[in-house]
A and B are shown apart, each in its own frame.
Chain A
């Protein structure tokens, strides 16, 4: 059976046999770096195409359908255009910060890739505080966004960046609380252990209604954190032209664009890992025959299937709901999501202590 675990172990032993220990480690670093960068590039191409097709079908349109087979090469052509485009820097801009900002956003997205388990024992870095690491690093992207908005020397950019800051700071709380409820249920911060705890069923089903509420709050909060519609105040086209990346063009703009889609993938992967069992196949308690049939589908396919399902849901939100006003946005967080999340966390704690979950 196809398994990413075997491939990684095979590569590791081959490197250890042929190279001294230090250079084998270096070669592994290089391989991981290349894999992460190429995954990002592929994700950018696939997700942009997916978004355009999904939005088209939801708006009763056809979407890209000319370049390549049924338009599949459209994003490739767009990338080529962005690559050859001139990267303009405005006269009044803070040139150093202006150049640095896209990389900060991109690197914070790349760092988040480290603890995500793609398959059984196929993980870059299985740290025992994986969930904490994710919630810490995911708030770093806002620094890059603020940097971009400030250095552009443009009122729209600055407004967009400030809005983005307010938004991420407030929605981080709800996302954290709903992540915490799963930490309480599984009793671990390590992502591989959280997945292992879902061997007899995913937390979404095992945790009764409180887990479902936590899941819904998580999805809403991460939609806001990734600055996507209906929470795209940071780049509200009709009010702020393009928000914090108004002045960016060419490859620097492409980096922001890519980071947005990489962030969507990452938050959906985390959601799939915490609530839907990550690479763990669909298992039902004690039905061992059913569980064995499910095990024939490789874990990586389960992982990517669940992640793309969540990505689709987030795209569905974007192409259905209108944008919120800034006061509505903060109302939603502070008056609804946060109190409900806190009470929900209490319920889950009681449930976990009394052992009411499956």
Chain B
């Protein structure tokens, strides 16, 4: 009898677990509000991207054209495929000392894998990931970008 009991139990468990799965898919079939697909080119204006979506690396600037990058090259060292190239210069402080500062932040978008390691490596939160993902251009050279703006300088108090 033990065999028969086991047999019926197996059949019962199999049927109930299959029905559980069908209940889930049936729920999705009848509840269209759960659909996560976005009809992209049509909803360009109203599109909502997830908060942590990684589109490209940008360097935020304040209104007075100041950024937070000290030119420490931590991001350049963290980058696994040479996407970032930092060119530094020496500036004279008011006390007359020489100090390393950022000259050009070169960012090769065509090499970037959006791994986020540079943002994690940055000690001063100078760079972040933007949500823009429409990167296609006709010329490859346009993908090599300079992130710091013309004439920008280091924000006061950022070491």
Contact = CB atoms under 8 A, between A and B. Distances in A.
Interface of A: 54, 57-62, 65, 316-317, 319-321, 336, 340
Nearest to B32: A57
A58 B25 CA distance: 5
Contacts of B39: 62, 65
A59 B28 CA distance: 7
Contacts of A54: 29
Given A57-B28, A61-B35, A316-B25, 12 more contacts: A58-B28, A58-B29, A59-B28, A60-B34, A60-B35, A60-B37, A61-B36, A62-B37, A62-B39, A316-B29, A319-B25, A320-B21
A316 B26 contact: yes
A316 B36 CA distance: 20
Interface of B: 11, 18, 21-22, 24-26, 28-29, 32, 34-37, 39
Contacts of A57: 28-29, 32, 35
A216 to B, nearest CB: 8
Contact of A62 (B25, B26, B28, B35): B35
Most A CB atoms within 10 A — which of B18, B25, B28, B34? B25
B48 to A, nearest CB: 16
A314 B34 CA distance: 23
Given A60-B36, A61-B37, A62-B39, A336 B11 contact: yes
Contacts of A65: 39
Contact of B22 (A60, A320, A336): A320
Nearest to A339: B7
Contact of B25 (A320, A336, A340): A320
A39 B21 CA distance: 33
A263 B145 CA distance: 58
18 contacts: A54-B29, A57-B28, A57-B32, A57-B35, A58-B28, A59-B28, A60-B34, A60-B37, A61-B35, A62-B37, A62-B39, A316-B29, A319-B25, A320-B18, A320-B22, A320-B25, A336-B11, A340-B11
Given A60-B34, A60-B35, A321 B28 contact: no
Contacts of A319: 25
Closest 5 CB pairs of A and B: A58-B25, A62-B37, A320-B25, A57-B29, A320-B21
A60 B37 CA distance: 7
Contacts of B11: 336, 340
Nearest to B14: A336
A62 B34 CA distance: 10
B37 A321 contact: no
Contacts of A321: 18, 21
Nearest to A53: B29
A336 B7 CA distance: 9
Contacts of A62: 35, 37, 39
A65 B36 CA distance: 15
B103 to A, nearest CB: 48
Contacts of B29: 54, 57-58, 316
A217 to B, nearest CB: 12
A219 to B, nearest CB: 12
A57 B28 CA distance: 6
A58 B26 CA distance: 7
A340 B10 CA distance: 13
